Amino acid sequence: MKTILCIGAGYVGGPTMAMIARKCPDIKVIVGDINANRIQAWQSDRLPIFEPGLLELVQPCRGKNLFFSTDIAAGIREADIIFVSVNTPTKTFGEGAGMAADLQYWEKVAREILANATKDTIVVEKSTLPVRTAEAMARILHSHGGKPHFEILSNPEFLAEGTAVKDLEAPDRVLIGGATTASGQRAVQALADVYARWVPRERILTTNIWSSELSKLVANAFLAQRISSINSIAALAEVTEAEVDEVARAIGMDSRIGAKFLKAGVGFGGSCFQKDILNLVYICRHYHLNGVADYWEQVVRMNEQHKARFVNRIVSAMFNTLAGKRIAIFGFAFKADTGDTRESPAIGICRRLLEEHAELVVSDPAALDNAKTDLRGAAGVTFEPDPVKAAAGAHALVVLTDWAEFKALDYAAIHRDMAQPAFLFDGRNMLDHQALHTIGFNVYPVGKPPLTHL
């Protein structure tokens, strides 16, 4: 029996290993993490991450061929293939602060593998990494003189949170990069054989290791670029009486452009987009490609400006003062169907509203615990799981996450319990603006002229 170890039981490692275990009953899959609470949660029916369909995927394999453990050294000794899926946040200190990836967790893992491995092992980079990280990894892993042999592969994850199980079940593609040497190619094939148990061979793409590392950054940069592009047009639409959703629909029907990732909103968030673009920018600067770096950096800047513009619109609509006004925040997660708030636009937007001395009541079906951490120490904010209660007495509702739950509410009843005049800022353009206006709301969609009674 083959053994696979994954170091890092987070949003990527957990779901990915559960899918491998499910599809390969003859492979033993161990998921290791230094965080004992996290491991305990994976062993319970209250998983540490919220992801539709994940518990149903984990339950039948757990204890059979899927194991969660804090004993990483033992896992390393046993494993034929080791996935590394630890966090690689943006550096907050020193050279490259605010741009480069912080590789300290990665390096620790590499040294741990080196200290404990007893046989030839394939080491797979699963976390998103700057291009040429594999080179540093190879230097560490080969620093002992070559026995046992380590083969390093890059196998970036393209799953999106909220749809992780679906994305893993039927990926658009699986990308595996490896060295062009004979042993490199053997390792690539060994990993391809694992995925081939459920992914059609033509969707398993093999490349050299640098192409694979770079493709992950580029995929996220291109997706984020589309969102920044449509959000820039939202700003123009608001002053020209065009409607951004109509524009998106019209251009999206051009098959060369395509319909996806054209939804204007409050700006993109999540653990990948900003981090990966800044990473790309940093690498470009390293190679003195300053024009290229500026080009991609503007995608992130646009996102920042867009969030600031959203707040400015709230302030100016509400007579240029928010002081003492109660504002209900509908949604704190960076998107629907996840409790994840990493880089969520809600963080910056709420902080800005608090600076204007608004009183915030934050409501979210899955992200309130994370929201409390993100806004720790901020004065003037309370948390309320029930959006109807959050809205009671409020001067404004601000929709920041596209949860289906917010669509199903009785807005006529909510409006009756609010301070008047009542405002609604739909940062996700997901509600029926005309109907809300008829109820009596002053409605401000993104990228559309407001519908007001004032």
| Position among 4, 5, 12, 360 found at the interface with ligand ADP (CB under 6 A) | 12
Count of CB atoms situated within 10 Å of the CB of 319:
10
Partner interacting with residue 261 (select from ligand ADP, ligand UDX, none; CB below 5-8 Å by kind): ligand UDX
Partner interacting with residue 447 (select from ligand ADP, ligand UDX, none; CB below 5-8 Å by kind): none
Asked if residue 398 lies in contact with residue 444, where contact means CB atoms within 8 angstroms, the answer is no
| Position among 271, 274, 341, 429 found at the interface with ligand ADP (CB under 6 A) | 271
For ligand UDX, the closer of residues 159 and 192 by Cβ is 159
For ligand UDX, the closer of residues 55 and 223 by Cβ is 223
For ligand ADP, the closer of residues 86 and 358 by Cβ is 86
Least distance (Å) from ligand ADP to the CB of residue 451?
A: 39
Q: Please tell me whether residue 429 adopts helix, strand or coil conformation.
A: coil
Enter the tokens of residue 71: 């004993």
Least distance (Å) from ligand UDX to the CB of residue 164?
A: 8
Q: Please tell me whether residue 312 adopts helix, strand or coil conformation.
A: helix
Least distance (Å) from ligand UDX to the CB of residue 94?
A: 26
Least distance (Å) from ligand ADP to the CB of residue 15?
A: 9
Stretch that binds ligand ADP, among 29-37, 211-219, 239-247, 262-270 (CB under 6 A): 29-37
Partner interacting with residue 215 (select from ligand UDX, ligand ADP, none; CB below 5-8 Å by kind): none
Least distance (Å) from ligand ADP to the CB of residue 343?
A: 11
Binding-site size for ligand ADP (CB under 6 A) equals 21
What's the maximum distance between 2 C-alpha atoms anywhere in the chain? 76
| Position among 4, 5, 6, 13 found at the interface with ligand ADP (CB under 6 A) | 13
For ligand UDX, the closer of residues 265 and 387 by Cβ is 265
Enter the tokens of residue 399: 């929709």
Residue given tokens 């518990």 in the structure block: 55
| Position among 2, 23, 34, 136 found at the interface with ligand ADP (CB under 6 A) | 34
Asked if residue 157 lies in contact with residue 124, where contact means CB atoms within 8 angstroms, the answer is no
Partner interacting with residue 15 (select from ligand UDX, ligand ADP, none; CB below 5-8 Å by kind): none
For ligand UDX, the closer of residues 263 and 326 by Cβ is 263
Of 16, 32, 18, give the one whose Cα is nearest residue 68: 32
| Position among 4, 5, 8, 363 found at the interface with ligand ADP (CB under 6 A) | 8
Instruction: Please state, in angstroms and rounded to a whole number, the distance separating the CA atoms of residues 17 and 332.
Output: 28
Enter the tokens of residue 437: 């206006």
Check whether the bond before 60 is cis (ω within 30° of 0).
no
Instruction: Please state, in angstroms and rounded to a whole number, the distance separating the CA atoms of residues 55 and 49.
Output: 10
Footprint on residues 148-207 left by ligand ADP (CB under 6 A): none
Partner interacting with residue 343 (select from ligand UDX, ligand ADP, none; CB below 5-8 Å by kind): none
Least distance (Å) from ligand ADP to the CB of residue 90?
A: 13
Count of CB atoms situated within 10 Å of the CB of 404:
10
Catalytic residue status for 272: yes
| Position among 90, 121, 127, 155 found at the interface with ligand ADP (CB under 6 A) | 127
Contact map string, positions 87 to 126, toward ligand ADP, x by CB under 6 A? x-----------------x--xx-----------------
Q: Name the catalytic one among 6, 24, 272, 284.
A: 272
Enter the tokens of residue 408: 């199903």
Calculate ∠ Cα 179-182-209, nearest 5°.
10
**Cα dihedral angle (386, 387, 388, 393), rounded to 10 degrees?**
110
Question: In the β-sheet with 27-32, what is the strand arrangement from edge to edge?
Answer: 66-69, 27-32, 2-7, 81-84, 121-125, 150-154, 174-178, 204-208
Footprint on residues 69-88 left by ligand ADP (CB under 6 A): 72, 85-87
For ligand ADP, the closer of residues 156 and 184 by Cβ is 156
Least distance (Å) from ligand UDX to the CB of residue 428?
A: 8
Least distance (Å) from ligand ADP to the CB of residue 178?
A: 21
Distances (CA, A) of 288 to 50, 65, 218, 292, 402: 41, 48, 18, 9, 40
Asked if residue 128 lies in contact with residue 154, where contact means CB atoms within 8 angstroms, the answer is no
**Residue-by-residue DSSP string for 21-64:** HHH-TTEEEEEE-S-HHHHHHHHSSS-SS--TTHHHHHTTTBTT
**Residue-by-residue DSSP string for 220-244:** HHHHHHHHHHHHHHHHHHHHHT--H
Partner interacting with residue 427 (select from ligand ADP, ligand UDX, none; CB below 5-8 Å by kind): none
Least distance (Å) from ligand ADP to the CB of residue 108?
A: 4
Q: Which parts of this chain interact with ligand UDX (CB under 6 A)? A: 157-161, 220, 223, 227, 261-263, 265, 268-270, 272-273, 334-335
Residues that bind ligand ADP (CB under 6 A): 7-13, 32-35, 38, 72, 85-87, 105, 108-109, 127, 271
Supply the residues annotated as catalytic: 272
